Structure 1
Amino acid sequence: MLIHSASQLLTLSGGPQRGNDLGRLGVIQDGAVLIHGEKIAAVGRSDELLANYPDEPEQDAEGKVVLPGFVDPHTHAIWAGDRALEFEMRLQGKSYLDILAAGGGILSTVRATRSSSLERLMSETRARLASIFNHGTTTVEVKTGYGLSMATELRMLQALLTLEREMPLELAITFLGAHAIAPEYHDRPDDYVDLICNTMLPVLKDWWPHHASEHALPFVDVFCERGAFNLEQSRLILETARALGFPIKIHADEFDSLGGARLAAELGAVSADHLIVTPDEDIDLLASSQTVAVSLPCTPFGLAEMRYTPARAILEAGGLLAIATDLNPGTAWCENMQFAIALACRYLGLTPAQAIAAATINAAAAIGRADQIGSLEPGKQADLLILSVPDYRHLGYRFGTNLVKTVIKKGYLYSV
């Protein structure tokens, strides 16, 4: 299939973009892309590809933007229930501790997810994944973490694997048993850390090849934050996971600077996410590493806070910056990477070009797949979008509507 007559074809070629190199879109005016099977075969100008491949079936982009599918490298997309009441409580001035005392917070979603039937859990998650895909995300990272018991965490993993096999959307799966201290262990958190390290992770290592043989091992993540896991506990969990062969990630420095970003750089984490209160010296350490800094602008927006990731400082230090939605039921129920791009332009100080690169090739690096997705280059997976607009700057400029007209996933077209 030959997609031609794109007003702007954004290739994002050349690999992940570090520091002030972010925003190199590789624009081809009147561009075209040739797809053979699941892969990209060629990119170039429309007149050249139409002349060189006259017998290919054609898809006219009709003077609109064509770009790589978005990659969302941080979501909590699998859960049951909602926390709409908590949203209203926050608007009425209730604090996080007030909400916890009323039975809210992460543990309310844990209760709902534990008690949910598998059918309900899959139905609710399926709807979210379909919306994610229709808004232009072709690969999404999804974390467990609303089970906090081996049985429920494995049920969530099985649900995700089943959903991926029935949908075009591709998943990068993360085990987040260390999302919060399980309620049964609230007064003995070190025992829960011991359970994660000595039971959950070894069981997962044995379980995975029998249920997901087509996938490499999942990521293991930890929420390093006051009230969740301290730095020493986070180190123990991540070092144990790494020793078992799992790639690692970390939630770091969202509310308190505990040293999570520094730990990520030291341990070679694939990404460190949030990074709202990361000190300058830790930004420098992160920027000198291969760890991707993932900003989640929908979360402070969802909390009506004005503290965002210091993206400009990360770029000035030479870091790798990506953006994600942080889709979750408590602080950021957002299934749309276009909105994350719009927020990144307004509150992170990124240009539309930088935000697009952070949502594609750098986001792919944040899940270890920049060699497969995130750009339009021969040999890479044919994951791309045809927008309904003639200029890429409409991404960021416009919000509150879906600018995606067509999603192409592994060479198959899906109209939105």
Structure 2
Amino acid sequence: MSLLIENASQVVTCHTKGRKFKAGKFQSEIGLLKNTSIYTDGGRIKWIGNKLPARFKSGKMKKIDARGKCVLPGFIDSHTHLVFAGSRADEFSMRIKGRTYEQIAKAGGGIISTVKATRKASKAELIELALKRIISSVSFGVTTIEAKSGYGLDTASELKMLEVISELNSELPVDIYSTFLGAHAYPKDKTRSEYLEEILYEMIPQIAKRDLATFIDAFCEKNYFSVADTKKIFMQGIKFGLVPKLHTNQFYSIGGIEAAIECGAISVDHLEVMKPSDIKALINSGIIAVVFPAVSYFLDIPYAPARKMIESKIPVAIATDFNPGSAMSENIQLSMSMAVHMLKMNVEEVINAVTINAAAALGISHNVGSIETGKQADMVIFDTPNYNDLLYHFGINQAEAVIKRGEVIYG
């Protein structure tokens, strides 16, 4: 059935004009249309304008009256860790009372506690937990999600996590892109060299053979994975057809940016600690800089220098980094609000950061991330006539209807 969204007060198209992403001054361009209708059929946008042409009026059609409302492209959360078991709420309470990371780890907290719970959980249990999180994410306007492994840290458990993501992607209307993050941390039950060998010669070949991931990721940080080991992991992943993305520069600048550029990464994520040389290296690289204001808020660490990167013509995207240890929120609208106030991004830059630039961080901006004829019909209708209200009236969810491939999936 076709869909006609009629008479929207505003349509924020985020039009690309043939570009894969928006950088510099173009990140403020949103392609605003007023009193506009949108016609979709077969899951794609067929027409945008004021009066529907006669050729589109035959056959069954669902109509949505969007008077007094604004329509945006479906949001894309390009970095999440939504598959995990267990809770770290007690650890959170300990941290805000002044306990150090080392003290929390000794008390059984930290990433290893999530690894233990995730290893123990069945696939059915992980699917049930992740499904609730995805439904919540969609309610805030997300139509495409990236999800990582990384809480297994052994071959069987990493495969289990990726199988969960694959099954959810096949069963749900949203698109879920899978990332292998075996290099998230080192497990306690193996030496570093043993675990690196397992990633390179057991995990990656099996994941590629079963087509369980599109991307490969690593946490390139002091005390985690070195630049040299990150390069080894990425080159092996590339050999097996996986596209690199990189966690880097969260706490230290150790050369992760250069490694990402050398290995042809599609995005670099976190970037709370950026030297001038790191920013300079990203200019004209074509790599998307993905930032997480919710992580900085939750951990009380510096915010990524998004303003400086935008002024340096680096394309910036925003994601939630939803995870149990540093950003337990799937509310992408909250991250958007934080970006305006804490990253000093303007509203238009933020909107592009969760639509077209977020799509580019997954290599899919040719298909989603903007409202343009021929693109997939992924949109959100908000109960306000003015897109500025989305971040002005913060702390509430104004998403009235979430549309995926021309079908209403929420609202």
- TM-score calculated relative to the size of structure 1: 0.94
Q: Residue by residue, what CA displacement relative to the aligned partner does 1:352-374 show, whole Å, maximum 9, x if unpaired?
A: 11100000000000011000100
Q: Residue by residue, what CA displacement relative to the aligned partner does 1:227-266 show, whole Å, maximum 9, x if unpaired?
A: 2111111111112111222101000000111111121122
Residue equivalent to 1:380: 375
Q: Give the 3-state SS of the residue equivalent to 2:182 in structure 1.
A: strand
2:297 is the counterpart of 1:294: no
Residue equivalent to 2:260: 264
Letter in 2 for 1:373: V
Q: Give the 3-state SS of the residue equivalent to 2:243 in structure 1.
A: coil
Whole-angstrom CA distance in 1 between matches of 2:122 and 2:205: 26
Residue equivalent to 1:351: 346
Q: Give the 3-state SS of the residue equivalent to 1:184 in structure 2.
A: coil
Q: Give the 3-state SS of the residue equivalent to 1:174 in structure 2.
A: strand
1:10-89 matches, within 5 Å, as 10-14=12-16, 15=19, 16-44=21-49, 46=50, 48-49=51-52, 53-55=56-58, 56-89=61-94
Residue equivalent to 1:192: 195
Bigger shift: residues 21-30 or 191-200: 191-200
* Contact residue 268 and residue 290 of structure 1 kept, 8 A: no
Whole-angstrom CA distance in 1 between matches of 2:55 and 2:392: 36
Residue equivalent to 1:367: 362
Q: Give the 3-state SS of the residue equivalent to 1:171 in structure 2.
A: strand
Aligned mate of 1:146, from 129, 146, 151: 151
Structure 2 residues without counterparts, runs of 5 or longer = none
Whole-angstrom CA distance in 2 between matches of 1:162 and 1:198: 25
Deviation at 1:413, TM superposition (A): 1.1
Letter in 1 for 2:28: G
Whole-angstrom CA distance in 2 between matches of 1:126 and 1:391: 32
Whole-angstrom CA distance in 1 between matches of 2:125 and 2:57: 49
* Contact residue 287 and residue 320 of structure 1 kept, 8 A: no
Letter in 2 for 1:263: A
Aligned mate of 1:123, from 123, 128, 150: 128
Q: Give the 3-state SS of the residue equivalent to 2:371 in structure 1.
A: coil
Whole-angstrom CA distance in 2 between matches of 1:374 and 1:18: 15
Structure 1 residues without counterparts, runs of 5 or longer = none
* Contact residue 265 and residue 290 of structure 1 kept, 8 A: no
* Contact residue 261 and residue 278 of structure 1 kept, 8 A: no
Residue equivalent to 2:178: 173
Letter in 2 for 1:10: V
Deviation at 1:51, TM superposition (A): 6.9
Moved over 6 A (4+): none
Residue equivalent to 1:206: 209
Q: Residue by residue, what CA displacement relative to the aligned partner does 1:121-163 show, whole Å, maximum 9, x if unpaired?
A: 1111110011111111000000010001111111111111112
* Contact residue 68 and residue 383 of structure 2 kept, 8 A: no
Bigger shift: residues 323-332 or 241-250: 241-250
Name the % identity. 40
Residue equivalent to 1:8: 10
Aligned mate of 1:255, from 240, 251, 257: 251
2:101 is the counterpart of 1:96: yes
Q: Residue by residue, what CA displacement relative to the aligned partner does 1:13-50 show, whole Å, maximum 9, x if unpaired?
A: 11310122102110001111110111010112x3x336
Whole-angstrom CA distance in 2 between matches of 1:184 and 1:278: 33
2:408 is the counterpart of 1:403: no
Letter in 2 for 1:94: R
Whole-angstrom CA distance in 1 between matches of 2:349 and 2:27: 5
